[in-house]
Structure 1
Amino acid sequence: MKKDVLLVDGYNVIGAWPELQELKKDDLAQARDRLIERMAEFQATKGWRVIIVFDAHLVPGIEKRKKQYRVEVVFTRENETADERIEKLVSELSNRLTQIHVATSDLVEQWVVFAQGALRISARELEIAMKEVDYLIARKVRNSREERPLSKIPLSEEVAKAFEKMRRGEQ
């Protein structure tokens, strides 16, 4: 069975999504956190492994890796771009059982990863995919609400109405 891996060029997507562009104006860290939250929703819904890569030039220092909401977050080494790290990850993760998708709107990067066998997703296409994820999550929540009984004890409609009146303080 093929596994899917989504590599996300973090700052590229932040610069492309209107919601994240707005957050970035006031607080870049907040925009990063929101992207991570959105990708966690994607991961939970699609079941794909998700790795977000951020350039080191905006967070200087040594390479940092963390896992947040089951999403892997990588801050590259100083003097290493997200594009370079993504290309390395495509090379490292590529095998017959893994389909790699790279989310970036950088055309040069898209061609490089495509040549390595990865599929490219533009930031806009990822944003559209997130709308589908939002729909699936909303449907799942709606279905779970409909399936959940209002009471753990089966009540006749007449008794349930009487209890509801009591709950509201009506006589």
Structure 2
Amino acid sequence: MRRVLLVDGYNIIGDWPELRELQKNDLESARDLLIEEMAEYQAYMGMEVMIIFDAHMVPGLGKKYQNYRIKIIYTREKETADEKIEKLCRELKRVDTQIYVATSDFVEQRVIFASGAYRKSARELRNEVKEMEKDIKKDVIKTKKKKIKTKLPITDEMAEIFEKWRRGQH
């Protein structure tokens, strides 16, 4: 089953405290941080992610970018992110596809339900991202703790020295 997450970019930025604070002085950095977080989310959750940004924040015509293997879509002028998300829901709707939309816009949530997509509030998505980050940290620690296996009968101290040499950490 294909799973797709459509993210209302500026809605999420306006809701997550760390992004909301960052956007006050540097909107581009807030966008970049959201994109990085969603790229990690896609890689970890195995879910296709598309982030939709309103064009009024970025002059010019609507554009699509592929960044970190996720799609970043800027709507055309006079087209809102909500309209683009609704259009994508209709285009992507298939029996073998589950569509999730991350937004805290109440009106948009009602439209999403009507189109058969699932809703994730900005808060739910943020909680999932925070849990994912904790899981990744646990996995990294677990991997680091795994003992170096060797077929040579050497002491742990010697194995550690060889490992440092191998990594170029004399």
2:49 corresponds in structure 1 to: 50
Describe the SS at the equivalent of 2:60: coil
TM-score, normalised on structure 2? Answer: 0.89
2:71 corresponds in structure 1 to: 72
Within a 5 Å distance, the mapping from 1:24-103 to structure 2 comes to 24-103=23-102
Distance 1:124 1:147, change over 3 A: same
Distance in 1 of aligned mates of 2:90 and 2:115 = 7
Distance in 2 of aligned mates of 1:22 and 1:151 = 50
Distance in 2 of aligned mates of 1:57 and 1:45 = 31
Task: Compute the displacement of 1:135 (Å).
Answer: 1.6
Task: Compute the displacement of 1:26 (Å).
Answer: 1.1
Count of residues in Structure 1 that have an aligned counterpart in Structure 2: 163
Of 120-129 and 133-142, the range deviating more from structure 2? 133-142
2:39 is the counterpart of 1:12: no
The one-letter amino acid paired with 2:64 is R
Identity of aligned residues (%): 53
The one-letter amino acid paired with 1:43 is Q
Distance in 2 of aligned mates of 1:83 and 1:158 = 60
Distance in 2 of aligned mates of 1:60 and 1:144 = 45
1:128 corresponds in structure 2 to: 127
**2:101–2:119: 8 Å Cα contact kept in structure 1?**
yes
Distance in 1 of aligned mates of 2:122 and 2:154 = 51
Task: Compute the displacement of 1:10 (Å).
Answer: 0.1
Describe the SS at the equivalent of 2:35: helix
Distance in 2 of aligned mates of 1:15 and 1:137 = 26
Describe the SS at the equivalent of 1:77: coil
Deviant stretches of 4+, over 3 Å: 150-154, 157-161
Q: Provide Cα deviations, 1:27-57, integer angstroms capped at 9, x if missing partner.
A: 0000000000000111011000000000000
Give unpaired runs (5+ residues) of structure 1.
none
TM-score, normalised on structure 1? Answer: 0.88
Distance in 1 of aligned mates of 2:50 and 2:20 = 20
Describe the SS at the equivalent of 2:100: strand
**2:148–2:159: 8 Å Cα contact kept in structure 1?**
no
1:118 corresponds in structure 2 to: 117
Distance 1:96 1:155, change over 3 A: same
Q: What is the aligned-residue RMSD (CA, Å)? A: 2.1
2:37 is the counterpart of 1:23: no
